[in-house]
Amino acid sequence: MKASDTVRLGVDVGGTFTDLVALSQGSLVTAKVPSTPRDQSRGVMDAVDASGVEAASVTALAHGMTVATNALLERRGARTALVTTEGFRDVLEIARQNRPSLYDLSRDRAPALVPRGLRFTVKERMGPEGEIERLDEGSLNEAVVAVREAEVEAVAVCLLFAFAHPEHERRVGEVLREALPDIHVSLSSEVLPEFREYERFSTTAADAYLAPRLAAYLRNLAGKTRGAGVPAPLIMQSSGGVIPIGDAISDAAGCVLSGPAGGVVGAAYVGSLGGHRDLLSFDMGGTSTDVAAIIDGEAQTTTETVVAGVPIKLPMVDVHTVSAGGGSVAWADAGGALRVGPRSAGAEPGPAAYHKGGTEPTVTDANLYLGYLEDGAKLGGEVVLRRELSEEALTRLGQEIGLDALEVALGIVRVANAEMVRALRVISVERGLDPREFALLAFGGAGGMHACALAEELDMQRVLVPRAGGVLSALGLAISDLRRDYVRPYLTDLADASPEEVESRFAEMEEAAAKDLEGPEFTRRADLRYRGQSFELTAEADAFEDLEGRFHDSHERRYGYRMQGEGVELVNLRLVATVPVEKPALEEEPVSGGAETGRREASFDDEGASVVEVPVLYRERMGRGSEVSGPAVVEFGEATCVVRPGWRGRVDGVGTLVLERG
């Protein structure tokens, strides 16, 4: 890229590698470097340096990270207190009284983010119609003293019915912020103004628990970008849009799925460019695999996400994650069965083949031994794969379970594939979607190696592997729109709802959005349910008169039936405000020469575990119209695609390798 070009960067931090995409006037530069788990911001700046992009030309840097996710998973958030209505300090503990595993009595729920000793109460009471008992200032002062003596870093304030009547909660927040200016305060009426007290308490507690850790990381990163002459980063939200750092800190719970959201945005964009608008996205990285459904070119969102046992009822891309990645460790259980994950070798020490201290076999070691990866290949500019180390690790595990190295490698791949097939069923079959009607879009460093096998299991006929598949999450970040989500509770029978009142509430949200964003575009949505149901579905609400019909359609698609004569209730009104950014038109040059760089031996489980010689194609030498027939291996710049026997395909006009069965 020329120094005069304006460049938009997307940087995605994964468990093993940090990826970068730089976009400028349709051209695309990529970089991949090892992640730095102790300080993810170092990996971000390493990626910027590796890209060779001139700092002065960068106009925006969009960033997706796992800081909030890891803090929840590892329970390393801030020491947090809760202030709530007297008599309700145990809402977080009581939860929904369900068990994580119905028939496993030994399994406990994840502990509450706020222990009981840090939950304090105030005397007050709001009801559905407004104030029942005035806020007692004496009890409020006692709560402030208790919070100060507890030496916490954050406070979550969750009072009953604050979603509809926030006056008492705002007063509690005002006093806490004035008395304890160095402590982060999250109000439920600001974080999640919706009914259902447990989910509101849980989401607000998560917001307070994460905010100090996220703020420390983002301020550290902002200091480094400032020192490098790069603009302050925009942060990817779980809903699939970016926001400034200050907004991300004040909406910490909304950044829990920051990393996976970027991949889904990138998948929807690249798929749509090639004319594929109904997709199952499959992102397999070094630590985990993220899958999501994309319908008519749009990523699906949900407000029913549970992360590390913590319900977070904010709009999030509907991603399902399993601990099956390239670094997932294979092991033998007490009964001698082969297992894979959930433990990962991560970036440090990494798979055995990395020669960085890891000695246990992983999915990457299996893929290397089976010939899908090249012995001696360099990953992320630093890591060199060594097949003999993979063989040693596989052989050691094989001695425990009575198999040779080849059988262990094939078994590891089969076990990992089974886990990923289950994940794909969750976001397709369990959502009322037939995977046979979708294409599987594979990305991430390891996605292309497993995609054909997963498609066969689900009877899918088409696999898409984008040119930037190894860094697609970073591409998704670079093209993400600025986005804010707004919600207003409005619980009433739809038949009794006033179109004028609905319009007024939407107009109120649009007015707030116009202050937060410059020239936003609006999408109106509503949460609805049949009378008597406990949970709702979200439908487009651009026309009030179409709401009921759209809800019936959504319900039938999700659950397989509709109740045409049953009353419908309106629950919430939602507004999505976006400011679109310019997106590149990806174009693939015509094929210019031979792509085959050699041949190597590989093994496929449907070949009776035999070793066959396959052609190796270099993706950089392929162009529009280039064809491939399986079995074959296609090596991309940051990823590898295994074309299994029975598959064939060609590169389309936007650079996507389109594979089809038969």
What is the dotted CATH code of the domain comprising 72-214? 3.40.50
Locate 473 and state its tokens: 């999450």
Nearest Cα residue to 191 out of 225, 226, 157, 140: 157
Q: Angle at the Cα of 8 (from 6 to 9), degrees rounded to 5?
A: 135
Q: Rounded CA gap, 366 and 383, in Å? A: 17
Instruction: Count CB neighbours of 650 within 10 A.
Output: 16
**606 pLDDT band (50/70/90 cuts)?**
low
Output DSSP code: residue 348.
Answer: T
- Indicate whether 244 pLDDT > 60: yes
Backbone angles phi, psi at 6, to 5 degrees: -95, 135
What are the start and end residues of each CATH 3.40.50 domain in the chain?
72-214
The pLDDT of 142-155, averaged and rounded, is 97
What are the start and end residues of each CATH 3.30.1490 domain in the chain?
482-579
Interhelix angle 405-427/387-401, rounded to 10 degrees, is 90
Q: Are 611 and 410 in contact (CB under 8 A)?
A: no
Q: What's residue 457's pLDDT? A: 95
Nearest Cα residue to 13 out of 346, 281, 253: 346
Q: What's residue 213's pLDDT? A: 94
- Indicate whether 285 pLDDT > 80: yes
Largest CA distance in the chain: 81
- In order of 41, 44, 344, 364, 430, the CA distances from 325 in angstroms are 22, 21, 8, 8, 23
Q: Rounded CA gap, 383 and 207, in Å? A: 37
Which range, of 165-179, 184-198, 558-572, averages the lowest pLDDT?
558-572
**218 pLDDT band (50/70/90 cuts)?**
very high
Q: Rounded CA gap, 576 and 45, in Å? A: 32
Nearest Cα residue to 21 out of 463, 447, 442, 583: 583
The residues facing 538 across adjacent strands are 527
Q: Which helix (H) or strand (E) holds 331?
A: strand 328-332
Taking only the tens place, the pLDDT of each residue in 33-46 is 888 888 889 999 99
Q: What's the first-to-final CA gap in the chain, in angstroms?
A: 41
Q: Rounded CA gap, 189 and 200, in Å? A: 9
Which range, of 163-177, 357-371, 587-601, averages the lowest pLDDT?
587-601
State CA 350 to chain mean position distance: 22
The pLDDT of 460-470, averaged and rounded, is 93
**Which architecture characterizes domain 482-579 according to CATH?**
2-Layer Sandwich (3.30)
- Indicate whether 132 pLDDT > 80: yes
Q: What average pLDDT is seen over the chain? A: 91
List CB contacts of 460: < 8 A, sequence separation 6 or more: 280, 435, 436, 438, 439, 440, 454
Q: What's residue 315's pLDDT? A: 92
Locate 174 and state its tokens: 């005002």
List CB contacts of 312: < 8 A, sequence separation 6 or more: 202, 203, 206, 253, 256, 305, 306
- Indicate whether 526 pLDDT > 60: yes
Positive/negative CA dihedral, 221, 226, 230, 231: positive
Taking only the tens place, the pLDDT of each residue in 361-414 is 999 999 999 999 999 888 766 788 999 999 999 999 999 999 999 999 999 999
* Burial class (CB within 10 angstroms; exposed 0-12, middle 13-18, buried 19+) of 516: middle
Nearest Cα residue to 321 out of 238, 241, 200, 379: 238
- Indicate whether 3 pLDDT > 50: no
Interhelix angle 40-51/197-228, rounded to 10 degrees, is 50
- Indicate whether 1 pLDDT > 70: no
- Indicate whether 162 pLDDT > 90: yes
Q: Are 25 and 8 in contact (CB under 8 A)?
A: no
